[in-house]
Amino acid sequence: MNAIALQTVDRRSVFTRLDFRPKLFMMFTITMVAFIWEDPRLGGGLALAVLLSCLAAGIRAGYIRTVLALMLPFSALVILTQGFFSTTLITTLTGRQPDDFRMLIAFPSTWPLVGGAGLSWEGVLYALNIVAKSLTMTLVIALGVFTTDIDAMVVGLVKARVPYKIAFVFSATLRFFPLLFAKAQAIIEAQRLRGLALEGMGLLRRLRIYARIVVPLILSSLIDSQMLDVVLQSRAFNGSSDRTYLHRSRLKAADWIAIGLTGLFLAAAAIGYAVFGIGRFGGVLRP
């Protein structure tokens, strides 16, 4: 569970020196481009670029491995569903008829229910694009959040005209996740001290054990949330952004350069897609 908990990078890099506002713009831009692009080659390249940026920023390889491992079942499900059932969607995007599809697996037409269906190469390509989109959106959030101190993040959000109440809820959520995972780990360790050997159990039995910690974990979380409510009321918290801040947020030259480059990338991706068809799904199927 420690690999999934919120973590910050251990070393400084270009990303850690940037203000949170250009990072926020970067996360928005990359998410929008990943959502627009349908070509799995461009989508996969964008996902690879974000993954390498995460490694360059110092995000732990264990976290990235955990994300990739968790996405494997999702990726397999997407490939199967889109490969078999995206015929109408691909026909709409490319104009190709089902008879023109390159079938990887085809069921005989005499078979009941699945007769005439099959796994097409076009469907697999579209599924790979969906997987690349999901991976990009997941890692780009980690790239922006894990390289920013939470206090600096709150100030950056307020400077970006985000209401202070929303920024506070966001920061409180980020601070709460490590506590949540730590308590879950403490409950599991308490069960180990009582002789519970999770390593020797099967998957289903282990899942049942994990399910049992949900009730004490929820009760403990409710107690913590009530304590937080009492603390905020005792300090007369009203959510106003008209307050003093310990940390300052000023855009430096590197921040403006990052904003400019990100804006150029967004404009180039939008113009390339709308005018030249760069990123459209049909492009990957051209001979």
Q: In the prediction, which pLDDT does 260 show?
A: 96
Q: In the prediction, which pLDDT does 6 show?
A: 52
Domain limits for position 108? 1-162+252-287
Specify whether 175 is located in the same domain as 61.
Answer: no
Q: How confident is the model at residue 5 (pLDDT cuts 50, 70, 90)?
A: very low
Specify whether 12 is located in the same domain as 95.
Answer: yes
What tens digit of pLDDT does each residue of 155-209 get?
888 888 888 888 878 777 777 777 777 777 787 787 777 777 766 677 777 777 7
**pLDDT, average across residues 135-149:** 90
Assess if residue 132 is contained within a domain: yes
Specify whether 181 is located in the same domain as 192.
Answer: yes
Specify whether 193 is located in the same domain as 208.
Answer: yes
Q: How confident is the model at residue 234 (pLDDT cuts 50, 70, 90)?
A: confident
Assess if residue 16 is contained within a domain: yes
Q: How many domains does the chain have?
A: 2
Q: In the prediction, which pLDDT does 112 show?
A: 64
**pLDDT, average across residues 32-49:** 93
**pLDDT, average across residues 232-249:** 70
Assess if residue 137 is contained within a domain: yes
**pLDDT, average across residues 142-167:** 84
- pLDDT over 90 for what percent of the chain? 24
| 256 or 94, higher pLDDT | 256
Q: Which of 10-24, 77-91, 106-120 has the lowest mean pLDDT?
A: 106-120
Is the pLDDT at 261 greater than 80, yes or no? yes
Q: In the prediction, which pLDDT does 4 show?
A: 42
Specify whether 53 is located in the same domain as 144.
Answer: yes
Assess if residue 187 is contained within a domain: yes
Specify whether 35 is located in the same domain as 108.
Answer: yes
Specify whether 189 is located in the same domain as 266.
Answer: no
Assess if residue 96 is contained within a domain: yes
Assess if residue 107 is contained within a domain: yes
Specify whether 285 is located in the same domain as 202.
Answer: no
Q: Model's pTM, two decimal places? A: 0.76
Q: In the prediction, which pLDDT does 63 show?
A: 85
Q: Name the average pLDDT for the chain.
A: 82
Specify whether 126 is located in the same domain as 71.
Answer: yes
Is the pLDDT at 219 greater than 70, yes or no? yes
Specify whether 105 is located in the same domain as 236.
Answer: no
Is the pLDDT at 213 greater than 70, yes or no? yes
Assess if residue 246 is contained within a domain: no
Specify whether 104 is located in the same domain as 230.
Answer: no
Is the pLDDT at 228 greater than 90, yes or no? no
Pairing of strands 118-120, 103-106: antiparallel
Specify whether 158 is located in the same domain as 168.
Answer: no
Assess if residue 245 is contained within a domain: no
